[in-house]
Homo-oligomer: A and B are copies of this chain.
Amino acid sequence: MSTADGSGATGTRERIVLAASRLMQRQGYDGTGIKQISTEAGATFGSVYHFFPGGKRELAVAAIRHGDQEFGDFLREELDRVDDPAEAVAACARTLAAGLRASDWTDGCPVTATALGSATRAPEIQQAAAAAFERWRGLVAERLRRSGLPDADARELAATVVSALEGAEFAAQVSRSEEPLLTTGRQLARLISSYR
């Protein structure tokens, strides 16, 4: 069978994707070597090229797709914990800030660092990152629509929320402070509240 099954032991391929995603999240595409990935994953060099014949670029696409799903799950889960959508977005920002601090400011957005810089050279990577952004916007928009906002407003707000959270996470990471994320969360809540 080619696709990953849900068996108990973590497959080698899955471990490789996980390590690649985490390392590229911290060091970027060019800053992460395949050797480092294989070591971190507890796999051998040959295994990486066995599962990813396309080499580093194919591996980066898989890593981005993993980050896509990971952050998507986080968004869906976090946005459903509070009734008020404005407060839900603010809570989202708070959780992101706490996680960033917990990692000592190393783990930012799992897609940004991987895509930045390599996107211009590899269209496949750029497309995977674009798909992630599009999905996240859709998730937030759906949540806002569920709270009664018209589709057009929900879409505009969702794009703003995703962009702002992304930028605030990077600002917080580079400033080593939760403040940009917390501030942006508060202002996004105010903006959303202004729509009803």
Which A residues fall within an 8 A CB radius of B? Answer: 26-31, 105-106, 108, 112-113, 115-121, 126, 129-130, 133-134, 156-157, 159-160, 162-171, 173-176, 179-180, 183-184, 186-188, 190-191, 194
Contact = CB atoms under 8 A, between A and B. Distances in A.
Among all A-B residue pairs, the 4 with the closest Cβ atoms: A167-B167, A28-B117, A30-B30, A166-B167
Oligomeric state, in copies: 2
Contacts of A194: 190-191, 194
- Best-buried of A26, A108, A129, A163 by chain B (most CB within 10 Å): A163
Contacts of A130: 174-176
State the main secondary structure of chain A at its contact with B.
helix
A119 B100 CA distance: 14
Nearest to A175: B130
B164 A183 contact: no
- Best-buried of A106, A117, A183 by chain B (most CB within 10 Å): A117
A33 B153 CA distance: 45
A53 B157 CA distance: 48
A119 B160 CA distance: 26
A80 to B, nearest CB: 23
B168 A163 contact: yes
Contacts of A166: 167, 170-171
Nearest to A114: B117
Contacts of A176: 126, 130
B170 A168 contact: no
Nearest to A172: B163
